[in-house]
């Protein structure tokens, strides 16, 4: 299968290219960083790239929470306009298979249960609570503290920052394309992906990159809030394998199917910082109590549908993966 990989020179995209090659497919790289003019927002460039292609793995995106709301036009241009241009070209070219780099951020806060009111969806955390160190969401009915759980793909989307809004819009666009063309679309809702080639020293990188960069400078990683935020850290090679599994599968036509793509083993941000510090021999993390509006407290999801439908499961354990990441040159 010839597979166009957008964002092929990026962190995840480069691993997808390697995984496709290892499984006997022919990746067709498409990335603005290595090929001048290879921009998913350029309709002519995308049309040329789709010639002779059987499927698309769409990894190109602007990622992370960003610096402030001023980043909004860039996020929308790269993520949503770029996806619209790509899907339009695919419709014209007759390419009917898409795997989208989705994200767990579409859920907003994760699943929470109240002892009295069952499963509830808390509203966004307020600045006053965060400034006072009250980080855990409360029940919107009785105000009690909530217990976090695993989100399933059937949960409603509730994007709570600009990046999340654009990732949600990507899924809606892909679903509309699938219905209109009879194509098949799979959105792999990535959790916190880490591993080799992760970007460094950029405000758009993930928390694992921030911690490692601090340790490389001989500094203690700064852990926001109280470090007890729950996340699912999934290795980039496992994510690349999920892309191959999705491309090899026989998904439903005329619809988008979403899959949580994570290890299924929640860890706290504080645990990640401590594991990285230990593996690199650096200073212990420093919990600062700082916070960012738009961050969610806990978001971990159930990947069992991906395992049941596509036979995929994460293979790289947390401790081993973090040690490898910490020692990467």
302-329 pLDDT per residue, tens:
999 999 999 999 999 999 999 999 988 6
Beta-strand ranges (E) seen in the chain are: 2-6, 26-30, 55-58, 97-103, 111-114, 118-120, 147-151, 184-190, 192-194, 222-223, 230-231, 233-235, 255-261, 267-268, 286-287, 300-301
| Predicted local confidence at residue 200, as pLDDT | 82
| Predicted local confidence at residue 22, as pLDDT | 98
> How do the residues of the chain divide into helix, strand and coil, expressed in percent and rounded to 5?
40, 20, 40
Whether the pLDDT of residue 204 is over 70: the answer is: no
* Percent of the chain surpassing pLDDT 90: 85
Question: Per the structure block, which two tokens stand in for 310?
Answer: 């596509």
Query: Do 160 and 125 touch, CB atoms closer than 8 A?
Result: no
Q: Mean pLDDT in the chain?
A: 94
Query: Do 112 and 121 touch, CB atoms closer than 8 A?
Result: yes
Query: Do 177 and 91 touch, CB atoms closer than 8 A?
Result: yes
pTM of the complete model:
0.93
Whether the pLDDT of residue 224 is over 80: the answer is: yes
Sheet with 118-120, side-by-side order of all strands: 118-120, 111-114, 147-151, 300-301
Length, in residues, of the chain: 329
């Amino acid at each position: 299968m010839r597979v166009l990989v957008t964002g092929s020179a990026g962190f995840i995209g480069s691993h997808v290219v390697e995984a496709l090659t290892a499984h006997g497919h022919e990746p067709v790289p498409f990335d603005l960083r290595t090929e001048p003019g290879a921009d998913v927002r350029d309709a002519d460039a995308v049309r040329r790239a789709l010639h002779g292609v059987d499927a698309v793995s769409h990894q190109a995106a602007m990622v992370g929470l960003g610096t402030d709301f001023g980043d909004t036009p860039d996020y929308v241009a790269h993520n949503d306009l770029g996806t619209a241009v790509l899907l339009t070209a695919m419709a014209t070219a007759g390419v009917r298979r898409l795997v989208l780099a989705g994200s767990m951020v579409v859920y907003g806060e994760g699943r929470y249960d109240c002892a009295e009111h069952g499963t509830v969806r808390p509203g966004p955390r307020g600045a006053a609570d965060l400034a006072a160190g009250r980080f855990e969401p409360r029940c919107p009915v009785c105000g009690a503290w909530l217990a976090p759980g695993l989100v399933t793909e059937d949960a409603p989307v509730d994007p709570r920052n600009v990046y999340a809004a654009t990732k949600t819009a990507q899924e809606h666009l892909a679903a509309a394309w699938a219905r209109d063309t009879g194509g098949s679309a799979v959105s792999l809702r990535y959790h916190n992906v880490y591993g080799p080639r992760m970007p460094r020293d950029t405000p758009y990188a993930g928390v694992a990159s921030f911690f490692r960069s601090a340790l490389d400078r001989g500094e203690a990683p700064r852990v926001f809030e109280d470090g007890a935020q729950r996340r699912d850290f999934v290795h980039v090679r496992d994510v690349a394998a999920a892309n191959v599994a999705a491309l090899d599968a026989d998904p439903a036509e005329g619809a988008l199917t979403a899959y949580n793509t994570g290890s299924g083993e929640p860890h706290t941000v504080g645990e990640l910082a401590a594991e990285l510090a230990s593996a690199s021999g650096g200073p212990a993390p420093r919990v600062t109590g700082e916070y960012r509006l738009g961050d969610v407290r806990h978001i971990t999801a159930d990947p069992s549908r991906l395992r049941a439908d596509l036979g995929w499961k994460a293979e790289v354990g947390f401790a081993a993966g973090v040690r490898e990441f910490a020692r990467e040159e």
